[in-house]
Amino acid sequence: MSHTVDSLKTYYLIFLALMVLTAVTVGAAFIDFGPLNISIAMAIAILKGCLVLWFFMHVRHGNPLLKIFAVAGFLWLVILVAFTLQDYVTRPWQDFEANQRWIKHQATHFEARAALPGNASHGSAH
Amino acid sequence: MNSSGKKTNYLNASHTLSSWFLTVDHKRIAILYLITISIFFFIGGLFAALIRLELLTPAGDLFKSDEYNKLFTLHGIVMIFFFLIPSVPAVLGNFLIPIMIGAKDLAFPRINLLSWYIYVIGATLATLAIMVGGVDTGWTFYTPYSTVYSNGAVALTIVGAFITGFSSILTGLNFLVTIHKMRAPGMTWFRLPLFVWAHYATSLIMVLATPVLASALFLLFLERVFHIGIFNPALGGDPVLFQHLFWFYSHPAVYIMILPSMGVMSELFAAFSRKRIFGYEFVACSSLAIAILGFFVWGHHMFVSGQSMYAGMVFSVLSFLVAIPSAVKAFNWSATLYKGSISYETPMLYAFGFIGLFTIGGLTGLFLSTMAVDVHVHDTYFVVAHFHYIMVGGVLMGYLGGLHYWWPKITGRLYPEAWAKLSALLVFVGFNLTFFPQFLLGYMGMPRRYHMYPEEFQVLNVCSSLGASVLGIGYFLPLVYFLWSLKFGKESPANPWGAKGLEWEIQSPPTTHNFDEIPVVTEEAYAYAKEDGKHHG
């Protein structure tokens, strides 16, 4: 494999881009996009991840085999997220409120436990 | 030749402690693994013996509920994380992959040593956790019990398992790069021994799945120690999310265990029937198919966990698909026997045992991936029996078969064949006597993870405990005669089985660098000549 070296300028530019994108993430967190909140945050995060992979981790200079493995990593993340989501998006959420009430009720012994001395942090986290 | 007049090999090349503990020779690292995982095997076995002793009677005679919970948890954690997952890859894979592909070592010898140290550190932490209070969550660490209610040393155990995972990732990475980059001239992909194909598929799972377990355990740690709500509903989390993340690793982990053993099987069936494996390409690709399909089925562990009905159906259908490449292997091994010149040495006995036990384990897996049946037998002894048939019946038969087959290569000594045959027989009989009754117990409704049970279940439980004693002897015998053979066993020639493969073309035990000159491969794997078959056994 060739060992092409990028110029320092490239690295600084990418670093700058990552910082800007971080600022955008923080900024976006203050605006309510409704259901898009997560999608926007994830999109920025994926873009940042790609920049790191492509430039800092030198995938763009890698041979095809290396690129296949890099893509495979992403693909497997998609499998994890997609097949987990197929559960969440098809759950009977119309019962969500009732379920939450039931869970809270069931969890009362947890709260009782959290109230015990020495478990103060349980209570505060709750 | 060294000073004692014996040929220099990797074992007698140097004798200092540092030459072992700082070695970068893949064969010595394999020996280090062999010793450490054997220790953990017998620790895990001790827990199993205590479990079976307790279950001899319906009353809780020996242990209280709490102690019993810890007992089966520790049995599971030790056996899965510290024995089964590293077993075949870290010992036989480490030793054989470079030799089988005609290389002098793995691609990253130092990382190979590092992975052993990481394994030892992780395993030591988990052992420490056992000593400072144990864990009672089951090896699955289900939330919110593990994050809120359990009083055991959960955090320490998790750190141990988390660290050990990196050992697995590094081993997988090492194998992948080695198989891609270090094959000898002429060793094309479809000339690779099927053992190597199986390890390639295994390594993919190790690299792609293990980080998800690390993440899940890390999140669990955060919730338990810092009370950050991720899985606990009272903190706004979702316990089923943990199960998704956990099984995304832990189901493929079953294939991390079984695929290398399947690789061993291919070698054994070829060597002891003097034939090329029937449908070599299909068997090779079925390893990859199992590795990939194995990532799409994890939800079958969660049919009764509150997962949606739709997700359950999808996971159920996909789970059935894994049966196809598994059956391709079993049928092709059987077809390999056809008109082969079969001989019944110990490794082959283990191979036959594997086929029987794996088939029962695999087919009962189909029962469990059928949603309606699973609701009935979920969390019963039916499940316990099923996964022991795969993970012990399958994996351990492969591991022991492989250990017997390559023992002469690894140590340069022959083991006593009669004793070995006896032990293979004891293992097969003992195993079935232990676990077949558990299918019946589970089907009749005996739940797993309880130390007391109704009296009508006692006869089958006594059978099971009796079988466990036979199995225990079967496992203990190899320990004795393998150690015996190191000193008293006959010296082995380079190729005691008359088998094909680069590992049989070099001396036993091999030299430190395996090959004086990198070999040039000119023939297919398992190129047993027709005449060879006719004259043999």
pLDDT tens sequence across B435-454: 999 999 999 999 999 999 99
Q: Give me the phi and psi of B447, to 5 degrees please.
A: -75, 150
To the nearest whole percent, how much of chain A has pLDDT over 70?
83
- Domain span at residue B456 reads 24-535
Give CA separation, B507 vs A69, B416, B510, in Å. 37, 20, 5
User: Mean of the pLDDT values across residues B65-94?
Assistant: 95
| pLDDT band with cut points at 50, 70 and 90 for residue B130 | confident
SS3 A52: helix
Please tell me which of the candidates A90, A103, A125 has its beta carbon nearest to residue B308: A90
Higher pLDDT, B130 or B32: B32
Instruction: Annotate B428-450 with b (16+ C-beta within 10 A) or e (fewer).
Output: bebbbbbbbbbbbbbbeebebee
pLDDT in tens, B257-293: 999 999 999 999 999 999 999 999 999 999 999 999 9
A90 touching B (Cβ < 8 Å): yes
B124 vs B143: CA distance, rounded Å: 24
In chain B, residues with a C-beta closer than 8 Å to the C-beta of A121 are: 226-227
Please tell me which of the candidates B226, B234, B240 has its beta carbon nearest to residue A110: B234
Per-range mean pLDDT, top range of A87-91, B125-129, B281-285:
B281-285
pLDDT at position B533 is 47
To the nearest whole percent, how much of chain B has pLDDT over 70?
97
User: Mean of the pLDDT values across residues B44-56?
Assistant: 96
Please tell me whether the peptide bond between B144 and the residue prior to it is cis, using omega within 30 degrees of 0.
Answer: yes
Please tell me which of the candidates B229, B248, B310 has its beta carbon nearest to residue A90: B310
User: Mean of the pLDDT values across residues B162-190?
Assistant: 96
Taking only residues 489 to 508 of chain B, the set having a beta carbon closer than 8 angstroms to any beta carbon of chain A reads none
**What are the beta bridge partners of residue B447?**
B380
- Return the number of other C-beta atoms located less than 10 Å from residue B472's C-beta: 20
SS3 B491: strand
pLDDT at A105 over 90: no
| pLDDT band with cut points at 50, 70 and 90 for residue A113 | low
Q: How far is A9 from chain B (nearest CA, A)?
A: 32
Tell me if B1 is assigned to some domain: no
Please tell me which of the candidates B208, B233, B244 has its beta carbon nearest to residue A87: B244
Please tell me which of the candidates A79, A91, A126 has its beta carbon nearest to residue B234: A126
pLDDT at A96 over 90: no
B503 vs B515: CA distance, rounded Å: 10
In chain B, residues with a C-beta closer than 8 Å to the C-beta of A87 are: 240, 244, 299, 302, 307-308, 310-311
pLDDT at position A99 is 73
- Return the number of other C-beta atoms located less than 10 Å from residue B514's C-beta: 22
pLDDT in tens, B465-479: 999 999 999 999 999
B307 touching A (Cβ < 8 Å): yes
**What are the beta bridge partners of residue B413?**
B491
* Residue with the two structure tokens 């690299």: B207
- Return the number of other C-beta atoms located less than 10 Å from residue B490's C-beta: 13
Q: What is the DSSP string of B277-320?
A: PTTHHHHHHHHHHHHHHGGG-GGGG-TTTT--HHHHHHHHHHHH
Query: Domain holding B438: CATH number?
Result: 1.20.210.10
pLDDT at position A124 is 41
To the nearest whole percent, how much of chain B has pLDDT over 90?
93
Please tell me the total count of domains within chain B.
1
Question: In a 10 Å sphere around its CB, with 0-12 CB exposed, 13-18 middle and 19+ buried, how is residue B500 labelled?
Answer: buried
A80 touching B (Cβ < 8 Å): yes
Tell me if B480 is assigned to some domain: yes
Taking only residues 178 to 197 of chain B, the set having a beta carbon closer than 8 angstroms to any beta carbon of chain A reads 180
| pLDDT band with cut points at 50, 70 and 90 for residue B133 | confident
pLDDT at A123 over 50: no
Q: What is the ipTM of this complex?
A: 0.89
pLDDT at B105 over 90: yes
Q: Domain ranges in chain A?
A: 1-91, 92-126
pLDDT at A112 over 80: no
B301 touching A (Cβ < 8 Å): no
Tell me if B251 is assigned to some domain: yes
pLDDT at position B94 is 97
Tell me if B16 is assigned to some domain: no
pLDDT in tens, A32-62: 888 888 889 999 999 999 999 999 999 999 8
Q: Is B102 left (phi over 0), alpha (psi -120 to 50) or beta?
A: left
Tell me if B7 is assigned to some domain: no
